[in-house]
């Protein structure tokens, strides 16, 4: 029996580029290595923020719904759209407020601020956050993703180079983690548009 954080398995990676940011995840939905189907693990929060969730699937869905409520409430009461750096602080607060009965989720965030500067961050189950300048990973494939990301990431990559680095990191990590797989999806966010590309990976 695995621990609760690896019950459903996942692999998520986000990388900074030059005026762009990318985030990708596998598509596998499985319970204790038994494949059930496919599910998306990256959600679009605003036009400039993407949220990746790993961990226990039921908690991921519940936490996403909680985040959507707070984003909608903010827009309704204050008439503004939240920025990525403010968003991770909101996420951190929501997770920390439930620290005694935590959501079993890890958070990976990728976005562009109002000046078009890329921003990535992550948080553990109790809201302890990191804000790296290069890349961030999460899920059961964390160890294999870290090694691959260190090899593929370079400073100031354009959108195409960033897509290639993120995708190769993701596929490399998936190949070395039996809890994740069954295809992947990578999102590239630029000031002008959001690009979605699907990847083939192992099917076992």
| pLDDT class of 135 with cuts at 50, 70, 90 | very high
| pLDDT class of 181 with cuts at 50, 70, 90 | confident
Picking from 73-82, 87-96, 111-120, which range would have the lowest pLDDT averaged per residue?
A: 73-82
Cα torsion through 4, 167, 129, 7, rounded to 10 = 0
Q: What is the pLDDT of residues 28-39, one digit of tens each?
A: 887 777 777 778
Q: Is 159 helix (H, G, I), strand (E, B) or coil?
A: helix
> What dotted CATH number matches 4-199?
3.60.20.10
Query: Residue 12: phi, psi to the nearest 5?
Result: -135, 135
Q: Is 135 helix (H, G, I), strand (E, B) or coil?
A: strand
Question: What is the rounded CA–CA span in Å between residue 190 and residue 188?
Answer: 7
Instruction: Kindly state the tokens that stand for 135.
Output: 């890349």
Question: What is the rounded CA–CA span in Å between residue 153 and residue 134?
Answer: 7
Quick check: 204 pLDDT over 70?
Answer: no
Q: What is the pLDDT of residue 137?
A: 94
Q: What is the pLDDT of residue 104?
A: 93
To the nearest whole number, what is the mean pLDDT of the chain?
A: 90
Q: What is the pLDDT of residues 142-157, one digit of tens each?
A: 999 999 999 999 999 9
Q: What is the pLDDT of residues 47-83, one digit of tens each?
A: 999 999 998 888 999 999 999 999 999 989 988 889 9
H-helix or E-strand spanning residue 67:
helix 57-78
Q: How far is CA 82 from CA 23, 58, 100, 129, 142, in A?
A: 19, 25, 27, 18, 28
pTM of the predicted structure, to 2 decimals? 0.90
Domains of the chain by residue range = 4-199
The helix/strand count (H/E) of the chain reads as 4, 12
Mean pLDDT, residues 85-103 taken together = 93
Mean pLDDT, residues 1-30 taken together = 86
Residues 6 or more apart from 107 whose CB is under 8 A from it? 51, 52, 53, 88, 91, 95, 122, 123, 138
Instruction: Kindly state the tokens that stand for 129.
Output: 């956050």
- Is residue 175 left, alpha or beta, with left meaning phi > 0 and alpha meaning psi from -120 to 50? alpha
CA 195 to chain centre: 15
């Amino acid at each position: 029996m695995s621990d609760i954080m690896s019950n459903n398995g996942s692999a998520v990676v986000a990388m900074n580029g030059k005026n762009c940011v990318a985030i990708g995840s596998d598509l596998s939905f499985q319970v204790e290595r038994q494949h059930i189907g496919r599910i998306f693990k990256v959600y679009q929060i605003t036009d400039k923020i993407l949220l990746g969730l790993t961990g226990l699937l039921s908690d991921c869905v519940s936490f996403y719904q909680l985040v959507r409520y707070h984003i909608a409430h903010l827009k309704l009461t204050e008439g503004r759209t939240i920025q990525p750096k403010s968003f991770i602080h909101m996420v951190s607060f929501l997770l920390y407020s439930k620290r005694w009965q935590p959501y079993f989720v890890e958070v990976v965030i990728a976005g562009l601020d109002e000046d078009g500067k890329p921003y990535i961050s992550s948080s553990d189950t109790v809201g302890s956050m990191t804000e790296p300048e290069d890349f961030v990973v999460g899920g059961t494939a964390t160890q294999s993703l870290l090694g691959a990301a260190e090899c593929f990431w370079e400073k100031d990559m354009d959108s195409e180079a960033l897509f290639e680095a993120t995708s190769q990191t993701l596929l490399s990590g998936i190949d070395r983690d039996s809890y994740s797989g069954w295809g992947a999806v990578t999102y590239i966010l630029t000031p002008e548009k959001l690009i979605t590309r699907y990847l083939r990976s192992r099917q076992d």
